[in-house]
Amino acid sequence: MNLHREGYKIIFIATLILVSAIYIFAFFNLAIWLQVLLFAPLLILYVLVVRFFRNPPRYADKTPDGVVSPCDGKVVVIEEVEETEYFKEKRIQISIFMSPLNVHVNRNPISGIVAYFKYHPGKYLVAWHPKSSTENERTTAVIKSDRGVEVLFRQIAGAVARRIRWYIKPTDQVTQGNEMGFIKFGSRVDVFVPVGTDIQVAIGQKVTAAESLLGILK
């Protein structure tokens, strides 16, 4: 299993804790049943931490003018909204909620030039809260395709997720499906596409980063 570099330090600490627990149990010569009782939760937690930072290979959908999902998760919002930070006009918002069990690597929804990027400090409302898109800690990125169409997407921290990482900056040339960031421990990503985009997903649908087609740009 490939592990993401964002998890190396946390996994190292978790491994030290697990190994230390084994030595402590042996030092105090605890009864076997008690060792199992104490060790089992630590082992389960360790497996969950390692699994959280898995980084499976992904291959971007090659549909012409396609917008792929920037993350794994479940579609929770599809609606026409007023985007007030960059476009300042109507856009279709597609929101994807990531549970702690999902892969948390974030990927570019389209290829093109990074036309805009900004980090916003903020609150830590639960990721499905309607105001989390505008009030939580978040990043906003806009990628402009070769034919001039812009797609905006936001990494949004949640009540548990308080570490957003990003690897892009303005003027970068990026490729659809490549890594652009990581959010630790449960969160959400919003994607804003032009009105008239042919939406390819439905609310409640599970999507996979880079491989699930969210819509086709007109």
Q: Are residues 17 and 98 in the same domain?
A: no
On the question of pLDDT at 30 being above 60, the answer is yes
Provide the 10 A C-beta neighbour count for residue 68.
Answer: 26
pLDDT at 33: 85
For 161-170, write each residue's pLDDT tens digit. Answer: 567 899 999 9
For 33-73, write each residue's pLDDT tens digit. Answer: 888 888 899 999 999 889 889 999 999 888 889 999 999 99
pLDDT at 133: 64
**DSSP state at residue 198:** E
> Is residue 185 within 8 Å of residue 101, measured between CB atoms?
no
Residue 59 lies in a domain: no
**DSSP state at residue 69:** -
On the question of pLDDT at 5 being above 60, the answer is yes
Domain count within the chain = 2
121 burial type by CB count under 10 A (0-12 exposed, 13-18 middle, 19+ buried): exposed
Q: Are residues 155 and 86 in the same domain?
A: yes
On the question of pLDDT at 88 being above 60, the answer is yes
pLDDT at 23: 87
Q: Are residues 128 and 157 in the same domain?
A: yes
Give the relative orientation of helices 8-27 and 32-52 as an angle to the nearest 10 degrees.
180
On the question of pLDDT at 79 being above 90, the answer is yes
For residue 175, the domain's CATH number is: 2.70.70.10
3-state secondary structure of 153: strand
Q: Are residues 81 and 184 in the same domain?
A: yes
Average pLDDT over residues 122-146: 75
For 137-190, write each residue's pLDDT tens digit. Answer: 889 999 999 999 999 999 998 765 567 899 999 999 999 999 999 987 668 899
Task: Please tell me which of 50-59, 129-138, 209-218 the model is most confident about, judged by mean pLDDT.
Answer: 209-218
Q: Are residues 47 and 70 in the same domain?
A: no
Q: Are residues 85 and 186 in the same domain?
A: yes
Please give the distance of CA 67 from its chain centroid, rounded to a whole number: 16
Nearest to 160 by CA among 9, 48, 18: 48
Residue span of the structural domain in which 115 resides: 66-216
On the question of pLDDT at 128 being above 70, the answer is no
Average pLDDT over residues 98-124: 91
- Find the Cα–Cα–Cα–Cα dihedral 138, 143, 148, 150, rounded to 10°: -30
Q: Are residues 71 and 47 in the same domain?
A: no
> Is residue 176 within 8 Å of residue 68, measured between CB atoms?
yes
pLDDT at 157: 83
119 confidence band (pLDDT: 50, 70, 90): very high
Beta strands in the chain (DSSP E): 66-68, 73-83, 89-98, 105-107, 112-120, 138-144, 150-157, 164-166, 173-174, 179-183, 187-193, 198-199, 206-207, 213-216
Q: Are residues 203 and 126 in the same domain?
A: yes
Q: Which residues contact 131 (CB under 8 A, 6 or more apart)?
A: 125
Q: Are residues 124 and 158 in the same domain?
A: yes
Q: Are residues 33 and 141 in the same domain?
A: no
Backbone angles phi, psi at 67, to 5 degrees: -110, 115
Which residues carry out catalysis? 187
Choose the weakest-confidence range: 13-17, 120-124, 162-166: 120-124
Provide the 10 A C-beta neighbour count for residue 195.
Answer: 10
Q: Are residues 78 and 40 in the same domain?
A: no
Average pLDDT over residues 205-213: 97
Q: Are residues 77 and 121 in the same domain?
A: yes
pLDDT at 41: 92
